[in-house]
Amino acid sequence: AKLSLATTHLTFWFTSELLAARMFRTLAFLSSVGQLQAFEDSVSWIQRQQGQEALEASSWFEESDLVLPDVGSDGIRMSRISSFAEAGSSFLLNYSNFCEQEDSFGPKECALYFDMPFKQTFSVYLNGGLNPGDVIHETFDVDLEHNESNFWSFLVPKSFLIESSCAFCQNSCVWSEVKPHHSLKITVPSSLGHESICDASTSLSKQQEFVFFNQTTFWPKPPAALDVKGNVTSTTEVRDKDNNTRVGGSYVFRLAAPTAPAMPAAANLNQIVDDGEGAAMPEVHPLVLLKDMAFGPFDDLVQKVTEAAGGSHDPSAMLDPSAWIAKSAGNGSHLLVLNLTVKSLNPGSSISINFDNGCTVTDSLGSISCEFAYGDSANITSALNIGYTAAEGSNMYTSSKINVGGTVGMLIGDKLFKKTESVTPLCGDGQVSFLKKKGLSRSFRSMKCGDYRFELSSNNQEFTNKVDIKNFDIPSIPFLPFLPKSFDELLPVTMVKEMKLRNQDNSTIAAIELSVGLKKA
């Protein structure tokens, strides 16, 4: 059936809101715990033809009478732990393969192998449609363990609870994360205010059936070194204005080591999205810019290390210097350097990060300069409050660059490690694009214009510097006399990242630069 103009508009409003909510959920995931891999849902709210056939569960595996495989460390086991629907309503979460125990809500058990594409559909039928005050509510309860002796273990979260809530016909949506010594709250403008729901005088007929997402995706095979295991429990509900659940379900995703942490019902940043014509087209959201800003320079480094080692299939494992550091550290020959420079903040915003050891506040905006010898410890207290109004034409600039010292840095440093830059709109309608590194262009959907606010507070966060490497000789290469003879001749090595939020007239909302590196003591 053809979609009416009103339904098309309603679909677009829903799409924008859910993309915004999930983007900020993962943005906060990156900002608060710095995980190695960010995972992002590609959500598409589309009108489904009325009729029971739209909510029929189907799985070729269920019909084959095969036994559900034990994926072990080769994938993730999903189990439904609860489901509810008010009278006359229903929902269906369905996977295309390796599922069993189907009922009207979809499969109860699924085996999801890493790197294997699968089709995922989540549809909802609401008796009487959506009403003013109805809320889309999500929780993610993460309980993970990992190998803490691994160098990158500090990037992996262990235990926290995330909640997001967005009410129809309200002005904003709220996303929050609470931990014993940490809290994060993000407020974004709401798109859930379509006239067919919020205008009592409208003649538009109510939409009752929706597809939250309908996509082909896969989970990437993660590095084994982190040895991550545990559970992630996901709950998604539609509630009424009195907080009664209209439809909802809870699922647990069990990770057996070795795996990596991931968000429920989510794919990685390189997910495959069904374009509706049978072809799989990559779609990227603004989150990728932040991922690139945080980890982009390592991509080139991974490739170079991989090529030097003859093309290992697990380059991330090669970048784990845990054993090397354990063998070489402790002589105090180098200093870890961290500089956070707050270049500009709009009125009403503030940044405060305090270390009780090793750091100095350098200006009234909250900039800090830090140096830590091997074994130095500090307690960190921080507070961040950034608010701004995103208007049509405002944008976000990000850049990332690795700098090396010595003769190599002067002669070929910029060629070895090129600066990565991106500019994207902060908000707007329709599809836009940005130029990704290596000349590849990706598209994403902008978020809604309006008021945004990020509030972060933490106290008694412990930090200990475990990074130091003894100087060692580097084998000489004929015809390249300018190459360093030792590790110390490469120092200082610094990674510099910059982010600017800019108004439509290119004036600055906020500008922050982070520099992290190693230098000789």
Report the amino acid identity of residue 518.
Answer: L
Answer yes or no: do 249 and 368 share one domain. no
Q: What pLDDT does 147 receive?
A: 78
Inside any domain, residue 285: no
Residues with Cβ < 8 Å from 314, sequence gap 6 or more? Answer: 223, 224
Q: Are 268 and 296 within one domain?
A: no
289: left (phi over 0), alpha (psi -120 to 50) or beta: alpha
**Are residues 108 and 203 located together in one domain of the fold?**
yes
Q: Which residues of 495-505 are buried (b: 16+ CB within 10 A; e: fewer)?
A: bbbbbbbbbee
Distance CA 89, CA 471 (A): 67
How many whole angstroms separate alpha carbon 206 and alpha carbon 51? 15
Residues 245 and 139 in one domain: yes
Tell me what pLDDT residue 513 has: 94
Domain boundary among 222, 246, 275: 275
Collapsing DSSP states into helix, strand and coil, what is residue 345? strand
Using DSSP, how many helices (H) and how many strands (E) does the chain show? 7, 29
Sign of CA dihedral 146, 156, 254, 220: negative
In terms of pTM, does the model score above 0.95? Answer: no
Last residue of a domain, one of 246, 275, 304: 275
Q: Is 248 found in the same domain as 366?
A: no
In a domain, residue 21? The reply is yes
> Are residue 340 and residue 243 in the same domain, yes or no?
no
Domain assignment of residue 281, yes or no: no
Query: Is 284 among the domain residues?
Result: no
Residue type for 386, please? I
Supply the range of the domain harboring residue 459.
291-520
Residue 282 lies in a domain: no
User: Number of structural domains, the chain?
Assistant: 2
Both 486 and 408 in one domain: the answer is: yes
Quick one: pLDDT at residue 277? 34
User: For residue 146, what pLDDT is reported?
Assistant: 79
> Are residue 81 and residue 107 in the same domain, yes or no?
yes
330 and 258 in a common domain: no
| Residue 97 within any structural domain of the chain | yes
Residue 10's pLDDT is what? 37
Per-residue confidence (pLDDT) for residue 28, from 0 to 100: 34
Are 77 and 190 contained in the same domain? Answer: yes
Q: What is the DSSP string of 270-307?
A: T-EEE-SSS-EEE---THHHHHHHHHHHHHHHHHHHHH
Q: Is the residue at 320 inside a domain?
A: yes
Q: What is the pLDDT along the chain (521 residues), one digit of tens a residue?
A: 333 333 333 333 333 333 333 333 333 333 332 222 222 232 223 222 223 333 343 444 444 455 666 777 788 888 999 999 999 999 988 877 788 888 889 889 988 887 788 787 888 899 988 888 888 888 988 888 877 776 566 656 678 888 888 888 877 888 888 777 778 898 888 767 666 677 766 666 677 887 766 777 777 666 677 787 888 898 989 999 899 999 999 999 888 754 433 333 333 323 333 333 333 323 333 333 333 433 343 344 444 434 443 444 444 444 455 555 555 555 557 888 999 999 999 888 999 999 999 999 999 999 999 999 888 899 999 999 999 999 988 988 989 888 887 777 676 767 777 888 888 888 876 555 554 444 555 555 667 888 899 898 988 888 888 766 666 676 776 666 667 777 777 788 888 999 999 999 989 999 999 998 888 88
Q: Are residues 267 and 296 in the same domain?
A: no
Whether 378 and 490 map to the same domain: the answer is yes
Instruction: Please give the helix or strand (H or E) that residue 387 lies within, else none.
Output: strand 377-390
Domain-located, residue 489 = yes
